[in-house]
Each structure stands twice: as C-alpha cells, then as structure tokens.
Homo-oligomer: A and B are copies of this chain.
Amino acid sequence: MPTDTQTRRERLPLNGVDTPTLFTTLDVVKSQPELARFQFRARNRWQSGTLSETTIGTFSGAGGEHAHKTTFRVTADHPAVLVGEDRAPLPVEYLLHALVSCITGGIANIAAARGVVLTEVESTIEGDINLLGIFGMSKAVRNGYQGIRASFSIKGDAPAEKLQEIVEQSRARSAVFDVLTNGVPVSMSVNAQQAG
C-alpha cells in the first residue's frame, strides 16, 4: 500500500500517461527481459523528383508482432532552393523532429513516474550543415550535420532543479539521442533491374 502522498500520486495516470500500466509493463519486462527486444520498420516509395512516401505499419516486440492503430504515411522532399518542390520536410529536418520528440515523450513518462504534473514542454532545435560535402565539392566537409543544438523549456509543479533532472534523465535514456551522438551500424543491399 502507498504510504505517502508522493507514492499515491505516482500510481495514478498523470500528464496523459497511463502510469499504472507503465509500472506494470516495467515489472513484466524486469521478470522477462526477452520481451524488451523490438524491431521497427518502414517502407519507402519514390514518387517524383525528390518526393518520396514512407509507410509505417508494423513492428515486433514484447514477444510478438504488432500493427499500429493505423498505417502512418509520411513524406519527404527538398525545398525550392535545393531544386525540389517543397511538398514535405527534408529528411534532415526529420532527424531534428525525431530527437526533440523522443526526449519530449520521455519527459512526459518520467515526470508522470515521479509524480510531477507538467504544464508545458517546448523545445527548439537547429542543425548546421555545409552542403559542399553532399555536392562533392570538398572532401574536408562531412555530408551530415556538423553540430546540433537543442533548447528545452519545461514548466511543472516541482522545483526547477527537479524539472531539470527529468529532462536530463530523458536525454540520458533517449534512443534517438544515443543513435545521433554515437552512430549505429547501417547495412544496405540493392536490387537493380533494367526496365522501361
């Protein structure tokens, strides 16, 4: 039984997070660590110019196959200044979105687990890139971002120091932060066929 206010609050849904289910899920995984293995997937199809569409429908994890509630469709394109038609964000802009949304989702979960009611979480993020690398005009310039800076603003019913700890804990456990800062092995295969 909960013995203090703090513990009781932790066991109620908070910030739109189903905290009881969150704790139950963590307990189950603790006793069956193989349930923690997940695989995420996507399928992309080129449309025209630099526009392509990705569908995201299924994934595996928690010992089984899962389908998202709906099959998500997201597109990417290049802006006019990069000779595209600007019908969707750039792939490198999706990297920025992935990072801030990953840390923000984590903040909501961690705050709920710690019994902190959030009022606001906002962030801005920017990345510098020199396209001389992509254009093949300089071998000294990398293709990707040279640096990324994110700035978070968080408000809630806890002292500023505790709110800062929540953001820091989310960063320290963020899957996207890990991938972007440490890199990940990527393998690629190609099936090419003359046609048309």
- Quick one: which of A18, A68, A155, A174 has the most chain B CB within 10 A? A68
**Which of chain A's residues 84-126 have a Cβ closer than 8 Å to chain B?**
84, 86-102, 104-105, 107-109, 117-126
CB of B137 within 8 A of CB of A36, answer: yes
CB of A143 within 8 A of CB of B173, answer: yes
Number of copies: 2
**Contact flag A91-B176 (CB < 8 Å), given A37-B130, A104-B44, A122-B44:** yes
Shortest distance in angstroms between A73's beta carbon and chain B's nearest beta carbon? 10
- B residues less than 8 Å from A16 (CB atoms): 47-49, 51
Residues of chain A touching chain B, judged by Cβ–Cβ distance below 8 Å, are 15-18, 21-22, 25-26, 29-30, 33, 36-52, 54, 56, 59, 61-62, 66, 68-69, 72, 74-84, 86-102, 104-105, 107-109, 117-138, 142-161, 163-164, 167-168, 171, 173-196
- B residues less than 8 Å from A171 (CB atoms): 188
**Contact flag A187-B100 (CB < 8 Å), given A74-B74, A83-B25, A93-B42:** no
- Quick one: which of A76, A104, A171 has the most chain B CB within 10 A? A104
CB of A59 within 8 A of CB of B79, answer: yes
- B residues less than 8 Å from A93 (CB atoms): 40-42, 56, 59, 72
CB of B104 within 8 A of CB of A52, answer: yes
Shortest distance in angstroms between A121's beta carbon and chain B's nearest beta carbon? 4
Shortest distance in angstroms between A31's beta carbon and chain B's nearest beta carbon? 11
- B residues less than 8 Å from A146 (CB atoms): 184-185
Per the bound structure, the CA–CA distance linking A174 and B95 in Å amounts to 13
Cross-interface CB contact of A41 among B96, B121, B138, cutoff 8 Å: B96
- B residues less than 8 Å from A78 (CB atoms): 105
CB of A42 within 8 A of CB of B100, answer: yes
